[in-house]
Amino acid sequence: LHKVTINVVARHAGVSKKTVSRVLNNESNVTESTRRKVQAAIDELGYVPSVQARALARNQSFLIGLIYDNPNASYVADIQKGALKVCRQRGYHLVIHPTDHESSTLLEELEELLSTSRLDGLILTPPFSDRRDILQLLQQRHLPFARVAPTQTASGSVDVISDDFDAAKKMTEYLISLGHQRIGFIKGHPDHPVSEQRLAGYRAALQAADIEFKADYVRQGYFNFRSGEEAARKLLSLTPLPTAIFASNDFMAAGVLKVASQKGLSVPHELSVAGFDDSPISRHIWPSITTVKQPVEAMAEQATDMLLAVIGRTGDAAPITHFVDSLVIRNSTAPAKA
Amino acid sequence: LHKVTINVVARHAGVSKKTVSRVLNNESNVTESTRRKVQAAIDELGYVPSVQARALARNQSFLIGLIYDNPNASYVADIQKGALKVCRQRGYHLVIHPTDHESSTLLEELEELLSTSRLDGLILTPPFSDRRDILQLLQQRHLPFARVAPTQTASGSVDVISDDFDAAKKMTEYLISLGHQRIGFIKGHPDHPVSEQRLAGYRAALQAADIEFKADYVRQGYFNFRSGEEAARKLLSLTPLPTAIFASNDFMAAGVLKVASQKGLSVPHELSVAGFDDSPISRHIWPSITTVKQPVEAMAEQATDMLLAVIGRTGDAAPITHFVDSLVIRNSTAPAKA
DNA sequence: GTGAAAGCGCTAACAA
DNA sequence: TTGTTAGCGCTTTCAC
């Protein structure tokens, strides 16, 4: 079995290789009859163009990078899935790049990734979406990029965002509607800008309901289980006790559940608990956790789509797409006792 | 800033591009002085060879595929991490390919992946590691592959395995050592060959302790939370009640915890529960789950390393590497009540 | 040990 | 609308 190249196809179809190339790239100036003839040859021979050769000739790599640092494996999996879906359709490969956002050599590491891989574009996820130093690096290299869930605008970027402020506000309003007045809050990691937005949503809901904001009821967390546990210990030693705790993600909410259980506080009867992210754990724990669901996969898909549009100078899609979060009510929340 | 190619380096070093190429590829027949001269030019100019050009000339893609279908996101993350580590070091890219192992078009999908991506090699994870049809496809295409945790041998493959039989046996022995005699078991997904091994380990431990095996105490599960829940409902309506339940993974163990909680059975005092995998949920749930830890990342790393050795016809490493699982004792297991 | 020439499979620029 | 001629940046002959 001989290797099928563009030359073989050209000969088979009785045209020049350039014409085959035109058909491959869907260029406009080809007669319909020629196109069909070429297509027939392609199908018949089972020809698949070599990405490698294409990459060299066009000085592209057909590689898209995905940068993340997220302990939430299912979030990462969703992001990957969304990005992959689009990449596959369009003949790109996804280069995943898990990395440590606190690393002091992050920028150098990124520069190396860019120069060795020659990526055609990059997808940034939190907390990288808002890292000025990274954005600057990409801009001066003229490397197209898309950002998932940034909080600040940046020139020349395409973004997908969801309204975490609004989601946190809605969740807090929901708790208030259940009769809760003393609602504890566990903040997210300070390096993640969404943390502030979620807190702001919480505060806005309190204010709208004329409930006094008390700093005691807010503790710093770091998006992991242990920090949720520690924050919960503090919150659950307050007097009067909060009747509800809203954690900025599900891992921390799981930590609250543990502490409540150890203290003999029954959830949701004596304490309501809410989380954020709709991670698998929110379903796999008992009581299951009321939380906020983001359309993460769809967001990644859209981000990738917009990025490829920029790379291919295709349609000029709107530079920002909005997605909406939704509340998922489960078993960890109930009306406050009278 | 001009683009730095091999020609620029050659001119700068006063040698031919072929010599630069030799240095790049660590070929033997280059004088030490020439090598140093060339290396100096490379460093000075900050030259990074183009993977694309290399790929075309050598008819390689520098792409390694990773096939998986696992709902356990953290398992996938670990596998990716291990594989990536090696790939990066050696200048390869990892093409991740999550897919549905039950899809009827799986084989075609794979064939398409192979022909469009021109992968240099493939890493198979369970349940694909034992899929005869896939192995056959790879063999006839002469595509090198490495398998993670296969249970059956296959010619021309490099494998990394861990002894799930032994680990399950040890866990069961541990439960027996706590005084448990009536130990329920929840089987894993029937499509995963490890499921049988874990069951066999359980049986072997019972037999060694002269405890009668009772089919009633074994229920089919599917590695997900819900199936664990359902199996637990069945097991916990038996008389006499089992005093311990060993689930073939942590998700199912979490399901057992839920049912126990709903039935008012206190874990671990009235019921001991054990899982498998050391997934994050085993730590994030209360009581935390006693489980089995596999060195997944290290296994993936080793598999990738061996695969690249095969591709590069480098050293002939042993075709099989063994890893050992370890018990992680947490809070879901305790001595049986007298 | 080193270099010149040819070519990997495709696309870009130009002609026809 | 189609074909011709040069490359893309490397590696591979095979000379020297």
Which residue is closest to A224 within chain B, CA to CA?
A: B284
| pLDDT value of residue B313 | 67
Q: Both ends of chain B: CA-CA distance in Å?
A: 80
Residue numbers in B near A84 (CB within 8 A): 96, 98
- Cα separation, B303 vs B159, in Å, equals 7
**CA nearest neighbour of B292 among B255, B259, B250, B333:** B250
**CA nearest neighbour of B46 among A26, A266, A281, A116:** A116
Name the amino acid, one letter, at B60. Q
Query: CB A52 to CB B48 under 8 A?
Result: no
Return the bridge partners of B64, or none.
Answer: B94, B121
**CA nearest neighbour of A330 among A254, A263, A226:** A254
N residues, chain A: 338
For A53, which of B56, B95, B117 is closest by C-beta distance? Answer: B56
Mean confidence (pLDDT) of chain A = 95
Place of tokens 């591009």: B17
The 8 Å CB, 24+ separation contacts for B39-42 are B40/B13, B41/B9, B41/B12, B41/B13, B42/B9
Q: Quick one: average pLDDT of A232-251? A: 97
Cβ of B261 near strand C (under 7 Å)? The reply is: no
Nucleotide nearest to A18 (CA to C1'): D3
Query: CB B118 to CB A52 under 8 A?
Result: yes
Sign, CA dihedral B79-B80-B81-B82, equals positive
Query: CB A284 to CB B225 under 8 A?
Result: yes
CB B284 within 8 A of CB A225: yes
Nearest CA to CA, how far is A46 from chain B (Å)?
10
Max distance between CA atoms of chain B, in angstroms, equals 87
Nearest CA to CA, how far is A160 from chain B (Å)?
23
B262 close to A (CB below 8 A): yes
Residues 6+ apart with CB under 8 A from A274: A171, A174, A175, A244, A245, A246, A247, A253, A289, A290, A291, A332, A333
DSSP letter at A280? H
The region that residue A334 occupies, defined by phi over 0 for left and psi between -120 and 50 for alpha, beta otherwise, is beta
CB atoms within 10 A of CB A19: 22
Residue A28: pLDDT band by 50, 70, 90 thresholds?
confident
A84 close to B (CB below 8 A): yes
Q: Quick one: average pLDDT of A214-236? A: 98
Show which of residues 195-224 on chain B sit within 8 Å of chain A, judged by CB atoms.
none
- Cα separation, B218 vs B280, in Å, equals 25
How far is CA A309 from its chain centroid? 19
Torsion angle of C-alpha atoms A283, A288, A293, A297, degrees rounded to 10: -10
* Residue B212: strand, helix, or coil: coil
Residue numbers in B near A255 (CB within 8 A): 284
* Residue A160: strand, helix, or coil: strand
Distance A44 CA to D12 C1' (A): 32
| pLDDT value of residue A98 | 97
Crossing angle (nearest 10°) for helices B6-13 and B17-24: 110
Nucleotide nearest to A29 (CA to C1'): D1
Distance A6 CA to C15 C1' (A): 22
**CA nearest neighbour of A304 among A175, A122, A62:** A122
**CA nearest neighbour of B203 among B164, B163, B172, B246:** B172
Crossing angle (nearest 10°) for helices A296-311 and A73-89: 40
DSSP string covering A58-98, please? HT---EEEEEE--S-HHHHHHHHHHHHHHHHHTT-EEEEEE
Residue A314: pLDDT band by 50, 70, 90 thresholds?
low
A85 close to B (CB below 8 A): no
Query: For each of chain B's 338 residues, which pLDDT tens digit applies?
Result: 578 999 999 999 999 999 999 999 998 888 999 999 999 999 999 999 999 999 999 999 999 999 999 999 999 999 999 999 999 999 999 999 999 999 999 999 999 999 999 999 999 999 999 999 999 999 999 999 999 999 999 888 899 999 999 999 999 999 999 999 999 999 999 999 999 999 999 999 999 999 999 999 999 999 999 999 999 999 999 999 999 999 999 999 999 999 999 999 999 999 999 999 999 999 999 999 999 999 999 999 999 999 999 998 665 667 899 999 999 999 999 999 87
Show which of residues 283-312 on chain B sit within 8 Å of chain A, judged by CB atoms.
283-286
Q: Which residue intervals of chain A are DSSP H helices?
A: 6-13, 17-24, 32-45, 51-58, 73-89, 106-117, 132-140, 164-177, 193-208, 225-235, 250-262, 280-284, 296-311
Sign, CA dihedral A216-A217-A222-A227, equals positive
**Burial of B31 from C-beta contacts in 10 A (0-12 / 13-18 / 19+):** exposed
- Cα separation, A221 vs A248, in Å, equals 8
A178 close to B (CB below 8 A): no
Distance A57 CA to D7 C1' (A): 8
Query: CB A96 to CB B76 under 8 A?
Result: no
Least confident residue range of A66-75, A184-193, B26-35: B26-35
Q: Quick one: average pLDDT of A64-76? A: 97
Cβ of A6 near strand C (under 7 Å)? The reply is: yes
* Residue A300: strand, helix, or coil: helix
**CA nearest neighbour of B180 among B54, B268, B239, B288:** B268
Query: CB B96 to CB A80 under 8 A?
Result: yes
**Burial of B132 from C-beta contacts in 10 A (0-12 / 13-18 / 19+):** exposed
Query: CB B281 to CB A286 under 8 A?
Result: no
CB B232 within 8 A of CB B256: yes
Name the amino acid, one letter, at B34. T
Name the amino acid, one letter, at A248. S
Show which of residues 6-35 on chain A sit within 8 Å of chain B, judged by CB atoms.
none
CB B48 within 8 A of CB A111: no
Residues 6+ apart with CB under 8 A from A18: none
Q: Looking at per-residue confidence, does A2 or B18 come out higher?
A: B18
| Nearest residue (CA) to C1' of C9 | A53
CA distances from A112 to A99, A139, B232, B301 (A): 13, 16, 51, 22
Query: CB B81 to CB A98 under 8 A?
Result: yes
Say if residue A156's pLDDT is above 90: no
Nucleotide nearest to B22 (CA to C1'): D11
N residues, chain B: 338
Cβ of B34 near strand C (under 7 Å)? The reply is: yes
B140 close to A (CB below 8 A): no
Residue numbers in A near B50 (CB within 8 A): 56, 118
**CA nearest neighbour of B88 among B62, B67, B114, B113:** B62
| pLDDT value of residue B28 | 84
* Residue B199: strand, helix, or coil: helix
HSE-up of B330 (CA within 13 Å, CB side)? 26
Say if residue A35's pLDDT is above 90: yes
- Cα separation, A40 vs B221, in Å, equals 50
Question: Which of chain C's bases lie under 7 Å from a protein CB?
Answer: 1-5, 7-13
Say if residue A1's pLDDT is above 70: no
| CB < 7 A contacts with chain D (nucleic strand) | A 14-19, 22, 29-31, 33-35, 56-57, 59; B 3, 5-7, 17-18, 21, 24-25, 47, 49-50, 52-54, 56-58
Which residue is closest to B60 within chain A, CA to CA?
A: A52
Q: Which residue intervals of B121-249 are DSSP H helices?
A: 132-140, 164-177, 193-208, 225-235
CB atoms within 10 A of CB A321: 18
| pLDDT value of residue B1 | 59
Nucleotide nearest to B57 (CA to C1'): C8
